Amino acid sequence: MLGAADIARKALLPAIAASNNGRVVAMASRAPERAREMLAPYADARVCDSYEALLEQNDVDAVYIPLVNSLHKEWTLRAMAAGKHVLCEKPLAMNAPEAEEMASAAEAAGKLVMESFMYRFNPDTRAFVESLRDALHLQTSFGFRLSDSANYRMHAALGGGALLDVGCYAVSITRWILGEPVEVLARAHVEHGVDMTVSSLLTFPTGATASIWASFESPEEQDLTVVTRDIVHRREQPFTAGHPDDPYRLMVESFGESILRDRPLALPLSDSIANMRVLDRIRDAFSS
C-alpha cells in the first residue's frame, strides 16, 4: 500500500488479509508511525521508508493506491514501471486523458490496473442492477457534509470537489444501467474553485434520462431510484451498503484472480475511461 489512508485501515487491509489469494506485505507512508500502528494486526507486514522503497520490494506483486486524486496517475505509472500491478482508488484519474495515458502504459507494460469501485462487487447491488428492464428515468444522489478546509477534497489542485469524490459513483452506476449519454447538462455551486454541489441531467440514446446529484453540503444521503415501464425501483445506500460477503474482499479476490490466472479484469480500464469522459463532460457543462 502506498499511503496510510483511512480507507486502507477500515477496508482494504482487512479485505486483503481475509482474501483467499492475497496477503498484506508492506506499506509506505510519510507518517511511518501511523503505518506501523495500522499494520500491527498483520504480523508479517512491514513498513517501508518511502513509496520508492516499497516499489523495489521483490515480494510485492501489486500495490493499492489510496493517495489524493492528483497523485493517482503518477504513482500508477511508477508502480507499473517497477513491475507491479495496480488497484487504484476511485476516481482513477483527474480526467479522461490521464486515464487514457494510464491505460496505454498498462498495455505497454503488460500490467493490470483496476479502479477500486468496490460497490460494483456488492452482490446486492449487482442483483438490483441486473433485475432492471426498460428503464425510463434514473435518479441518484450521494452527499455528505464536509467543512474541514484542510481536507484534500476541499482543494482543486489535489483533485477535490464533490463531482470526483462522490459524483464518480453516481455516474458509474448510471452508466452501468443506462449506457453512455448523448447529452449532458449540469450546474454547480463552486467555492474557491471547488465544486461543493453538482447537479446534472443526462440523456441517453433510448430516450431515457438520468438526474445526478453530488454534494459536500448536505446530511448523509445515498439513494438510487429507477423508474421502469412496470415499477419504481429504489435502493438506499447503493454505494456503501454492507453484505455478508464483504464487497472489498470480493473486489480484492477478483483482482487477484485476474493477475494469477491471466483473466480479464471484472472492471476494465475501458469502463473507467468512459466514466472519466462523462465526468469531464459534466465539469465542462457547469464550467462553461
Q: How far is CA 104 from the centre of its chain?
A: 19
Instruction: Determine what percent of the chain falls in helix, strand and coil, rounding each to the nearest 5.
Output: 40, 25, 30
- How far, in Å, CA of 162 to CA of 166, rounded? 6
Cell of 142: 450521494
Write out the catalytic residue numbers. Answer: 90
Contact 106, 113 (CB under 8 A): yes
Dihedrals φ, ψ of 156, to 5°? -60, -40
Q: How far is CA 186 from the centre of its chain?
A: 21
- How far, in Å, CA of 166 to CA of 215, rounded? 8
Residue 221, Cβ neighbours under 10 Å: how many? 16
Residue 235, strand partner residues: 224
Which residue reads 489535489 in cell numbers?
158
